[in-house]
Amino acid sequence: MNQVFIGIGSNKNHPYFRIYSALKQINRLKSTFIVKKSSLYETKPLGPQGQPNFINAVIEIKTNFDPHELLSELQDIERQHNRKKTKKWGPRSIDLDILIYNKIIMDSKDLIIPHPGLEYREFVLIPLYEITSYGYEIPKYGRVSNLIKNL
């Protein structure tokens, strides 16, 4: 099975409910189960500040889906939560991002792994650090602990 880390975020339409609902939906996917989940973290938005704070988490899953199949399944969950991509870094009912997939590096038209910018995002690195071992390394970027020190 593949080891995948997924970032989850919401700041619209009952964010806590959205996140817990998405977790249940991910756990119900065929040949997929959640191994670990981080605490929930409240963070300021990455872009425009005239919106509510985000609630963020990171989960580790095991899955038999390949990266594009998993992306499609996660996008289906986002659609079920009425996710609308209207503005970059704008408010979201739910955001599900494949952060790391095994140790692969991928750059295709619709999917980049590791997720772009994750090395600068405290709201990803802190929860990722919480659920991984001390020396966990992200392909291309190195140890999570070192990336956090560099923030």
Q: Where are the domains of the chain?
A: 2-149
Q: Which of 28, 76, 79, 97 is catalytic?
A: 97
Q: Which of 83, 107, 121, 143 is catalytic?
A: 83
**Does residue 110 have an active-site annotation?**
no
H/E stretch holding 124: helix 122-131
Instruction: Quote the pLDDT of residue 67.
Output: 98
Round to whole Å and give the CA distance between 40 and 18: 12
Q: What confidence tens digit (pLDDT) does each residue in 59-73 have?
A: 999 999 999 999 999
Q: Which of 76, 95, 107, 143 is catalytic?
A: 95
Q: Tell me which residues of the chain have a pLDDT lower than 50.
A: none
Whether 45 contacts 131, CB under 8 Å: no
Round to whole Å and give the CA distance between 62 and 47: 31
Q: Name residue, tokens 């998993």.
A: 70
Instruction: Quote the pLDDT of residue 95.
Output: 93
**Does residue 121 have an active-site annotation?**
no
**Does residue 76 have an active-site annotation?**
no
Domain 2-149 is of which CATH architecture? 2-Layer Sandwich (3.30)
Instruction: Quote the pLDDT of residue 149.
Output: 94
Q: Which of 66, 76, 92, 110 is catalytic?
A: 92
pTM equals: 0.94
Beta-carbon contacts of 127 under 8 Å, excluding residues fewer than 6 positions away, are: 7, 38, 39, 41, 56, 57, 58
Q: What confidence tens digit (pLDDT) does each residue in 123-149 have?
A: 999 999 999 978 899 999 999 999 999
